[in-house]
Chain A
Amino acid sequence: MNMLKNWILSFVIAIAVFYTMDHAIMSMQGLPLNINMTPAQ
């Protein structure tokens, strides 16, 4: 059960990091994204 929690937590952290990074990097270039990652422009 501990191992399952580890895996779930790890994937949640990784997805959160990459999702946030994608939004940040694209916004910095003046290319905002919607929540579903589609171009906002």
Chain B
Amino acid sequence: MSPLKSLTTARLSTGSNQSALILPRAMQTLFVLFLMLSALMLVPDLAWSSEGAIATEAVVEDVVEHEPAPVMGPRDYRQIGSMSSRSFVWVIAQLHLFLAAFVLAVPLFVTVIEWIGVKTGDQRYDDMAHEFMKVSMTAYSLTALFGGTLAFSLFLLYPTFMGYMMEVFGNQVMVYALLFFLESGVLYIYYYSWYALRYGNKKYIHLTLGVLLNGVGTTLLFVANAWATFMMAPSGVDDAGVVTGGIWDIMRGPLWNPLNLHRFVANIAFGGAIVGAYAGYKMLSAHTMAERAHYDWMGYTSNFIAVLAFLPLPFAGYWLMAEIYAYSQQMGITAMGGILAWLFIVQAVLIGTILLAANYYLWNGMSRCAGSSRYTWLIKYIAGTLVVSFLIWVTPHTLILSAKEIAALGGSHHPLLGPFGIMPAKNIAVNLMLIGTFLSFQLYRRSDKVITVPWAGFGNALMVAIYLIAIANVIFLGVYYGYFTNTVYKVGSSVAQVMSTLIVIISGVVIDTMMFKGAKTLPVKWGQISNRGVYALFALPIAFTWLMALMGYVRSSVRTHWHVYTVMKDNSVDNFIPNIGHAGNMMTVATISFLAIVLFIFWVASLGDTKQPKPEKIANPAQ
């Protein structure tokens, strides 16, 4: 069985094999070439010649004189009634970001799933990809609605600030608008041509449309990210805010690529979690075993996408924070060592929730296959590791104490638990949680296989050795360099910890792929999972959504009392970091609103399949 087929079992409990899709080699070659070209186009440094662009821009910039950032006064801020402008924009912007993340993410994994359908010849993948797109179509128009509302509210409530941003970014905003025309056109063609371009050469045309859609969507993301990162770490302007560089200098600030990577990957994880909830809902409300089995499989695939994308996220976030520290120590300390530090404890709670829910779903899913009984004894150790790591991650460094409590404690830090409050302990915890989650995945993948390669004994021994040495290495690096050497070695050791986790993941995938060659497949009963396991699919998007809102609050707040950090001061009535309690309420309002919108999206997606039965002949009431 090919590795791709081994990702999910080929047979549903009531399904049958589908006919293969036959595609000529020439079309395959063209498609691969297109993929490579698209990848090149998406690499910002190669997309257009930066030197050429700057040279051209420099000639133009010599002629145009730019104004410094304006000093804002009360007349530069507006309000709608007595409502706080910041609160209003906060909720609208957050809802726009939730929806945008969803509609950008879905086409990414839909194209991959469609491609898997082509390679395996299994039409179920094609049907699932189409169903995911159907769910995201409603979300697309809502994204645009909230985007328009956000734009109107920013121009209405912060006209002077927006005037400065237009001064800086210039025609780039029109590029953003034009990209939306392209995105909409390609999206509608991609979705509505699904069945018209389903087989043969036409399928490759459809896949090409999918790649184009993702290219445009990713470009939209990168363009919008530039505005956010400019506000945090302005580039291409001098200290007074006068534009000194070209648009490329303005966009490519120190935080742009870290945010690009982080949001790109996080969107995929988020999108997977949302469609997982859709699959969970459809499974629990299924009327037939076949329907239940289909949506169970869809839920597994969604969870797989969400967790696969989630695993590298801590590293992308670490890079973003490292760049923030490198840009401004003050900003970095505000984020993680000062007033916003406690938010990272809340982040730990949410990520712990996500990992526990994802693992719980996998453990429950193991009941689909009798072969899993070989591995279920490991679950309690993975669960124990997750819980202990979670508790360490959640332990704060500074405690909220009265003077009397500080005196009783002998200081502001707990004598025993205080050491768990600093980054070395958190790094150990998060790496162990990720290793444990990957182990759950690996056990699940092995559950329905009986390995037959002659070197299975060595392969299994090697896998066990890699896990044990990686865990020991992560703990050693964190404890020794974290507590017994200087700060530079402490920070540097975290990179080696990340590499340890990556070695486990990569070697696990490679060794298993080689060991699965010629493996016997055991039957898997899709649909045979406890409802408790399916509830985990609802917990995932809730935690993801709240986590996004939380991190958005951190990102905005690190600017403290600046609209554009160190360049344009915030002189509004809201020029302070809102307290955590207020922020918690705002985030919860945004999260609940978004979840209500998601329910609406699911309902509309199902509505399209609902057909009212034709009524029986009714007697004419006039007779």
Listed in ascending order, the chain A residues whose CB lies under 8 Å from chain B are 2-3, 6-7, 9-11, 13-15, 17-18, 21-22, 25-26, 29, 31, 37, 39
Known: A7-B461, A13-B462, A21-B499. 15 other contacts (CB 8 A): A2-B457, A3-B461, A6-B457, A7-B465, A10-B465, A10-B466, A11-B469, A14-B465, A14-B466, A17-B466, A17-B469, A18-B469, A25-B495, A37-B480, A39-B489
Partner of B458, one of A9, A21, A22, A25: A9
By a CB distance below 8 angstroms, the chain B residues around A26 are 489, 492-493, 496
* Least CB distance, B226 to chain A, in whole angstroms: 29
By a CB distance below 8 angstroms, the chain A residues around B500 are 18, 21
Decide if B462 touches A25 in the complex (CB within 8 Å). Answer: no
Decide if B488 touches A31 in the complex (CB within 8 Å). Answer: yes
Q: List 9 A–B pairs whose Cβ atoms lie within 8 Å, in order of A's numbering.
A: A6-B458, A10-B461, A10-B466, A13-B465, A18-B469, A18-B500, A21-B499, A22-B496, A25-B495
- Asked if B585 is an interface residue, CB under 8 A from chain A, the answer is no
By a CB distance below 8 angstroms, the chain B residues around A39 are 485-486, 489
**B78-113 near A? 1/0 per residue, CB < 8 Å:** 000000000000000000000000000000000000
By a CB distance below 8 angstroms, the chain B residues around A21 are 496, 499-500, 503
Decide if A11 touches B465 in the complex (CB within 8 Å). Answer: yes
By a CB distance below 8 angstroms, the chain A residues around B461 are 3, 6-7, 9-10
By a CB distance below 8 angstroms, the chain B residues around A17 are 466, 469, 503
Number of chain B residues close to chain A: CB under 8 A: 25
* Least CB distance, B514 to chain A, in whole angstroms: 15
Which chain B residues (441-486) contact chain A, with CB distance < 8 Å? Answer: 457-458, 461-462, 464-466, 468-470, 473, 476-477, 480, 485-486
Partner of B473, one of A2, A3, A11, A22: A22
Listed in ascending order, the chain B residues whose CB lies under 8 Å from chain A are 457-458, 461-462, 464-466, 468-470, 473, 476-477, 480, 485-486, 488-489, 492-493, 495-496, 499-500, 503
Decide if A15 touches B486 in the complex (CB within 8 Å). Answer: no
Among B457, B469, B470, B480, find the residue whose CB has the most chain A CB atoms closer than 10 A: B469
By a CB distance below 8 angstroms, the chain B residues around A13 are 462, 465
By a CB distance below 8 angstroms, the chain A residues around B465 are 7, 10-11, 13-14
By a CB distance below 8 angstroms, the chain A residues around B468 are 11, 14
By a CB distance below 8 angstroms, the chain B residues around A25 are 492, 495-496, 499
A15 and B468 CA atoms in complex are apart in Å by 10
By a CB distance below 8 angstroms, the chain B residues around A2 are 457
* Least CB distance, A4 to chain B, in whole angstroms: 10
Decide if A29 touches B499 in the complex (CB within 8 Å). Answer: no
A26 and B494 CA atoms in complex are apart in Å by 10
A2 and B457 CA atoms in complex are apart in Å by 9
A25 and B498 CA atoms in complex are apart in Å by 10
A7 and B476 CA atoms in complex are apart in Å by 22
A25 and B477 CA atoms in complex are apart in Å by 12
A23 and B486 CA atoms in complex are apart in Å by 17
A22 and B480 CA atoms in complex are apart in Å by 13
Among A6, A7, A9, A14, find the residue whose CB has the most chain B CB atoms closer than 10 A: A14
With contacts A21-B499, A22-B473, A37-B480 known, is A14 near B488, CB below 8 A? no
Sorted nearest first, the 6 A-B pairs with minimum C-beta distance are: A10-B465, A14-B465, A10-B461, A14-B469, A10-B462, A25-B496
By a CB distance below 8 angstroms, the chain A residues around B470 are 14, 18
Closest to B481 in A: A39
With contacts A3-B457, A21-B500, A22-B473 known, is A29 near B495, CB below 8 A? yes
A37 and B488 CA atoms in complex are apart in Å by 15
Among B461, B470, B473, B488, find the residue whose CB has the most chain A CB atoms closer than 10 A: B461
A18 and B466 CA atoms in complex are apart in Å by 9
Partner of B489, one of A7, A15, A31: A31
* Least CB distance, B325 to chain A, in whole angstroms: 15
By a CB distance below 8 angstroms, the chain A residues around B499 are 21, 25
By a CB distance below 8 angstroms, the chain B residues around A3 are 457, 461
A7 and B465 CA atoms in complex are apart in Å by 8
* Least CB distance, A9 to chain B, in whole angstroms: 7
A3 and B464 CA atoms in complex are apart in Å by 13
A26 and B493 CA atoms in complex are apart in Å by 7
* Least CB distance, B347 to chain A, in whole angstroms: 26
A25 and B89 CA atoms in complex are apart in Å by 44
A14 and B251 CA atoms in complex are apart in Å by 43
Decide if B464 touches A10 in the complex (CB within 8 Å). Answer: yes
A17 and B465 CA atoms in complex are apart in Å by 11
A7 and B461 CA atoms in complex are apart in Å by 6
A11 and B492 CA atoms in complex are apart in Å by 26
With contacts A21-B499, A22-B473, A37-B480 known, is A14 near B462, CB below 8 A? yes
